[in-house]
Structure 1
């Protein structure tokens, strides 16, 4: 559930043209990189919640509903951002459906309203933790994009929105939801008594470490994401760290934030995470950190494609984290 920008999708890169079909336009509208991130976060938190249960009580239907609620919320947030940024996107991301004309504004509005309502209704039928996770995420996403608040105008508040949702709310909320569902062996809707007597509210150390890691990581994403969008943001008076500090400063700051993130996670694992496979955990993070620095040295800040490619790589590292953490838990 994010408002992040990213470079051209695989559709445009492969075909050399903007998507024509409704399905492809909808895929673009949903911002595929955020869909992948949301999907991996849902699966990872479920796997971590299951890691101490050895699949004693697998509950796959509530997992599917939680995923669907989060995906609908994701589409609402990124779609609302596109509805409010049409003129900016015509400069920064002209391949997006509304900016390119593949979708009319009315079509975008219908999708945004429909997915927002679906996200809340599905969560309502799945329990209080999922409802709180989805509800707070939608509220922050709305405040991020929609006037008169429109927090994306301010770099600090824009970054705070992104890492609060991606980092704290999604990870803690989904873990509590799955922990509660697994303890019941099913979800309980608003119509079947939201009893919380059988669930522990304790958050295990691995979830706290993952949450802090993702919060810090999304700080890097939040400050880096505006480098490719500098021209459009400047023209429409959107203040960003890139405009205030310049490309080199933001690029270097992002690299060092990611470095602190990876080294901090390894240090925390050595001290706090007795239940994970420490060798795998540390080795995976050092390998990811090394790849990040290796690629970063090859980036030409005057080449917009190189900047966009590196930003896509940062997102791939983000995706990888939701594989490393549950794998380390299951191997521990």
Structure 2
């Protein structure tokens, strides 16, 4: 897929104007020169190194999150193993996953283009901020992914078209002028929760249910609100945690975040507590469901899932207790672990019955 993106990028041309300058040029002149030198050196690197840079540009933790969510929601909606392994289900996954991944690259790539100067302070390792990927080529990637995602979406279902349109609109509103919702902590958090908690789960779930028999569709629809609520709470934890390591750059460029207002330790404690509480509540709910199960086999399965989710919750709390919230690097490492918990929840989702 990344090879296809590269070819498309070379054919598309500029799709976006450059990101707005967020600080006086004098303050960033040295960084700009370093990035320019890095961009020249990047042109001379082997193809494999360029491919790794392009993959890093996708922000792999979000890319993998989408790649895990779409098949997991199909598996959760499937009435049986036979339905899950059918060709119809495979086609359904493919028709949703390809445009979803492309849209993911558009959203994360646009954010990097609009935040180049901030990222040179907060995340200097990112491809555009470091100069490994030039702004010109990043624009091509972002434009190609948007066009390809929408084009593929037109050939898919109405729910897929809705999640693509909604994600694109909120992603652009979050990062780009004139709205640039990231300047408001509340609106920024709501954008993330709506996409990761509501749109992704509701729309891809509806798309998956289209392959099921009517009775199975009704049963699957009844479980949807719990899925949306659970992943929305995880989305809140992500929205709070993501800015905790970045207070230096956000302060420099006047970006308002909860971490700046409340301080790193307080917001880290809130986000990590929400993560552990959400996972723990899920484990408890599975335990209650096991007690109410009519069949012993189903009760045992729910208990096993509850134990697994409880283990994830306890591990997250132990890790959080060891984090120095004043260290941006330590918090950033825990933020990556939060995404691993996110992946684990989707991996367990198909077995929740």
TM-score of Structure 1 vs Structure 2, range by shorter chain: 0.7 to 0.9
What secondary structure is seen at the aligned counterpart in 2 of 1:317? helix
The two structures have a TM-score, normalised by structure 1, of 0.84
Which has the greater radius of gyration?
2
Counterpart in the other structure of 2:174: 144
In structure 1, how many angstroms separate the alpha carbons of the residues matched to 2:223 and 2:349? 8
Counterpart in the other structure of 2:310: 286
* 218 and 261 in structure 1: CA distance in 2 versus 1, 3 angstrom threshold: same
Counterpart in the other structure of 1:265: 282
What secondary structure is seen at the aligned counterpart in 1 of 2:244? coil
Q: Give the number of aligned pairs.
A: 299
What secondary structure is seen at the aligned counterpart in 2 of 1:125? coil
Does the 8 Å CA contact 2:109/2:142 hold for their aligned counterparts? yes
Which ranges of structure 1 fall in alignment gaps of 5 or more residues? 1-17, 184-196
Counterpart in the other structure of 2:53: 25
Does the 8 Å CA contact 2:209/2:220 hold for their aligned counterparts? no
Counterpart in the other structure of 1:94: 124
The structure 1 residue matched to 2:92, chosen from 56, 59, 62, is 62
Counterpart in the other structure of 1:39: 67
In structure 1, how many angstroms separate the alpha carbons of the residues matched to 2:185 and 2:56? 25
CA RMSD of aligned residues (A): 2.3
Which ranges of structure 2 fall in alignment gaps of 5 or more residues? 1-40
The two structures have a TM-score, normalised by structure 2, of 0.79
The structure 1 residue matched to 2:227, chosen from 202, 210, 219, is 210
Higher relative helix content: 2
* 117 and 202 in structure 1: CA distance in 2 versus 1, 3 angstrom threshold: farther
Shift of 1:182: 4.5
Does the 8 Å CA contact 2:77/2:220 hold for their aligned counterparts? no
Counterpart in the other structure of 2:110: 80
Does the 8 Å CA contact 1:180/1:199 hold for their aligned counterparts? no
- Pairing 1:1-332 to 2, within 5 Å after superposition: 21-52=49-80, 54-55=82-83, 57-59=86-88, 60-182=90-212, 200=217, 203-269=220-286, 277-329=301-353
Structure 1 residue ranges (4+ consecutive) displaced by more than 6 angstroms after TM superposition: none
